[in-house]
Amino acid sequence: MTDLVTWLHIQLDGGREPDAVTAAHRAILEMHRDDGLGWCTSCGDMTLDDHDRAPVETPCDTLRALASAYADRPGYHPGWAL
């Protein structure tokens, strides 16, 4: 788990967002997990034959964009910005 992911979980655990927003953001976090090797489980360009993906490092741009929604909160790292 990356620092960004840990920080996002803390933001979502705070109960400051409507339940539907929290649920949607948790779903995004679940879809964009680290595969254990440092690559996103969801992102990556598909090739024409759809068998090979270009791996994308975590935290991916999707998670960086998600974190930007909470950028005004303590602990947000400017290096996470897109």
Closer residue to Zn ion, CB minimum distance, 25 or 32: 32
The number of residues that bind Zn ion (CB under 5 A) is: 6
Site string for Zn ion, 25-64 (x = CB under 5 A): -------x-------x-xx----------------x-x--
C-alpha dist (Å) from residue 55 to 3, 8, 32? 20, 22, 12
Q: What value does the CA radius of gyration of the chain take, rounded to a whole number of Å?
A: 14
Task: State the residues that interact with Zn ion by CB under 5 A.
Answer: 32, 40, 42-43, 60, 62
